[in-house]
Amino acid sequence: MDIIQLLPDHVANQIAAGEVIQRPASAVKEMLENALDAGGTEIKIYIKDAGKTLLQVVDNGCGMSETDVRMCFERHATSKIKNADDLFAIQTMGFRGEAMASIAAIAHVEVNTKLTDNELGNHLIIEGSEIKRHDDCATTNGTSIKVKNLFYNVPARRNFLKSDAVEMRHITEEFTRVALAKPEIKMQLFHNNNELFHLSKGNFRQRIVNIIGGKKNETLVPIEEETSVVNIDGFIGKPEAAKRTRGEQYFFVNGRFIKNHYLHHAVSKAFEDLIPSNYFPSYFINLKIDPKLIDINIHPTKTEIKFEDEQAIYAIIRSCVKRSLGQYNIAPTLDFSQELSFDIAPSPNTSTLREPKIKVDTSYNPFGKTEDFTPREKYIPQEIEVETRQLDTHFEIENNSSEVMQIGNKYIAFPTEKGMALLHQSRAHKRILFEYFSAVLSNNKGQSQQLLFPKEIHLNKQDIAVISHLKTDLLSVGFSFEIQENESISILGIPPECQEENLQFVIEHLIEQHKNNEELQTAQHNGLAISLALSLAINEQKKLSNEEMLALKTELLKCNIPSVCPLGKATLINLQTADLEKYF
């Protein structure tokens, strides 16, 4: 009996959709790439309910004929590749011939398109890979594609979609990547009838400023280089503009956004000793390279590229960025618009590099006042969804004992009835803060200390969106602030657990946690409580007084789950006398 058979086309398309269309943002990316390949100079994107209800991309490109509008929804149908050799000379964006077929397999799709020379266009409706309607229509030049009810026939995939705020953040990121790569294209993005971006045609610098924010223009340093391996141009951020948050790191290869940790390391090494550790430099770098020397067909989303000589490109990027940083520090008034030659001698070792003035108080100790360390609200036990495990450890500790000792400025040792216990001071503080903020968010009664003078913190548009999403909960825990029109927030009040000197660090760390950790994004109150705990906890190398160690131990033992931190790592270990005797 034969058991191997060909999959039906609609099943094969749904499988392909699982690789290519992972969420609404994936469909936006593919349709944007097609609009660019069609020669569109003006592109509009309309989104409803973060793409779950509607995704529409409208361009003024070349349009499609009656045959092409049907063929574009067939698997492996493409206008950009004729034979295998073309894979190594790709100059276009979309070329696999899978995207539209994948989208049509899991959504209701409606297309209006017209060739420039034709009087009438084509109207096509396709649902679940099945064409429902195809006729002539009166429409404008170019193409309009509506994708409705994404994943309507794959409910399991639809259920895995995140909140509208999270999904819209992914769509905005895909839009940003394409918009930065193509500053010569006018682009608009609408969500629920609100215009989020209106980007006119311009140069690369103007596009960066329009997307990131007006203050960005003051921090951009141009870089430019031409070599036989790769041509480089773009901008890097000044060292003092480095942030705790990621999101302003962009590589473009031949007009296509890519992710490459190896090349990111090259830029980071160039900034070494100029910015603190755990800070991220900004960069917007275009790489022009012979298509024969790269392979962009190694990943379904085409965001990863294989270079033939990656080490040489690494060295060129590092040298180019390092030289621009050196010249900026030596002569800040230098006209960076002039072409820079790669054979310019590097700055001498005797030159003085200015250390960026980023206020981070690494010795911050919230235990300075014992009363500040005591939670203001009584903790109400509740189910904590983010817990991954709880250590099976029983502690019989005398809370009245004043015998404590700090080891390596990281651990606190104290006796128990059957031996001793070791406490991880940073993780213990995270647990205490997490349960405190969880209680405050549940009761909505956080205290706030008003600042004598408002503190203004400048952020980019993406970070402002994160703060806007968290605003209600931030107000609940004691933050008081206003979002300004100049991509900044004016902070008027802070929780008692926070210090004004560390405010910039806390806000950026909070944003970083929510931008790059989807578990926190969907955990609602617990996500914010975790972020605040991680941002405000003492560091692992803080010297504590005897009173501070006792306060830490006492407050930890009052916690509902004292044995693990909010991320599920151990805060305490119990060493019984029998265990110690094994070492003697």
Per-residue model confidence as pLDDT tens digits over 184-238: 999 999 999 999 999 999 999 999 999 987 678 888 999 999 999 899 999 999 9
d(CA 91, CA 79): 12
What integer pLDDT is reported at residue 426 of this predicted model?
92
Strands (E), 531-579: 572-576
Q: Where are the CATH 3.30.1370.100 domain residues in the chain?
A: 366-576
CATH code that applies to domain 9-199: 3.30.565.10
Neighbours of 431 (CB within 10 A): 26
pLDDT grade for 394, boundaries at 50, 70 and 90: very low
| pLDDT the model gives residue 177 | 93
Gap between the Cα atoms of 330 and 351, Å rounded = 7
Nearest to 408 by CA among 548, 556, 540, 551: 540
**Residue with more model confidence, 261 or 334:** 261
Q: Give the list of residues 6+ apart from residue 151 with CB closer than 8 angstroms, or none.
A: 106, 107, 157, 158, 161
Residue 57's Cβ-count burial label (10 Å; 0-12, 13-18, 19+) is: buried
**Where does the chain hold its CATH 3.30.230.10 domain(s)?**
204-330
**Please, which pLDDT band fits residue 252 given cuts at 50, 70 and 90?**
very high
Q: Band of the pLDDT at 18, cuts 50, 70, 90?
A: low
Tell me the mean pLDDT in the region 400-410.
81
pLDDT for 568 equals 85
Is the Cβ–Cβ distance between 248 and 282 less than 8 Å? yes
Q: Is it the case that residue 523 has pLDDT exceeding 80?
A: no
Q: 493-519, pLDDT tens digit by residue?
A: 998 888 887 788 888 888 887 776 665
38-84: pLDDT as tens digits: 888 999 999 999 999 999 999 999 999 888 888 888 876 666 555 55
Q: What amino acid is encoded at 446 in this protein? A: G
Asked whether 544 and 365 are in contact (CB, 8 A), the reply is: yes
Residue 20 confidence (pLDDT) above 80: no
Q: 326-358 as b/e, with b when 16 or more CB fall inside 10 Å? A: bbbbeeeeeebeeebeeeeeebeeeeeeeeeeb
The mean pLDDT value for 239-265 works out to 89
Phi, psi of 94 (to 5 degrees): -95, 130
3-state secondary structure of 454: strand
478 — alpha (psi -120 to 50), left (phi > 0) or beta?
Answer: left
Q: What is the pLDDT of residue 184?
A: 94
Band (pLDDT 50/70/90 cuts) for residue 362 is: low
Find out whether 250 and 180 touch, Cβ atoms under 8 Å: yes
Q: Is the pLDDT of residue 113 over 60?
A: yes
Q: What residue spans in the chain does CATH classification 3.30.565.10 cover?
A: 9-199
The pLDDT, as a whole number, for residue 76 is 66
User: Does 398 score more than 60 pLDDT?
Assistant: no
Q: Tokens at residue 473, please?
A: 């909960």
Topology (CATH level 3) of domain 366-576: Ribosomal Protein S8; Chain: A, domain 1 (3.30.1370)
pLDDT bracket for residue 432 (50, 70, 90): very high
Give the model confidence (pLDDT) of 138-165 as tens digits.
Answer: 999 999 999 999 998 888 888 888 888 8
User: Which CATH number is 204-330's, of 3.40.50.1240, 3.40.640.10, 3.30.230.10, 3.30.1640.10?
Assistant: 3.30.230.10
- Give 567-581 pLDDT, tens digit per residue: 888 998 888 888 878
Which residues, 6 or more positions from 119, have their beta carbon under 8 angstroms from its beta carbon? none
Q: What is the pLDDT of residues 419-428, one digit of tens each?
A: 888 899 999 9
Q: Please provide the average confidence, as pLDDT, over all residues in the chain.
A: 80
pLDDT of residue 182: 94
Quote the strand ranges of 53-175, DSSP E. 54-59, 108-114, 121-127, 130-137, 142-148
3-class DSSP state of 379: coil
DSSP secondary structure letter of residue 309: T
Contacts of 84 (CB under 8 A, 6+ apart): none
Whether residue 183 is predicted with pLDDT greater than 80 in this model: the reply is yes
- Longest distance between any two alpha carbons in the chain, whole Å: 94
Structure confidence at residue 331 as a pLDDT band (50, 70, 90) = very low
5 Cβ contact partners less than 8 Å away, ≥ 6 residues apart: none
Res 287: pLDDT: 94
- Tell me the C-alpha to C-alpha distance, in Å, between residue 253 and each of 181, 308, 316, 578: 9, 13, 15, 62
**pLDDT per position as a tens digit, 534-555:** 888 888 778 888 888 998 988 9
Specify the DSSP element, H or E, that contains 456.
strand 449-458
For 464, half-sphere exposure in the C-beta direction (CA atoms, 13 angstrom radius) is 19
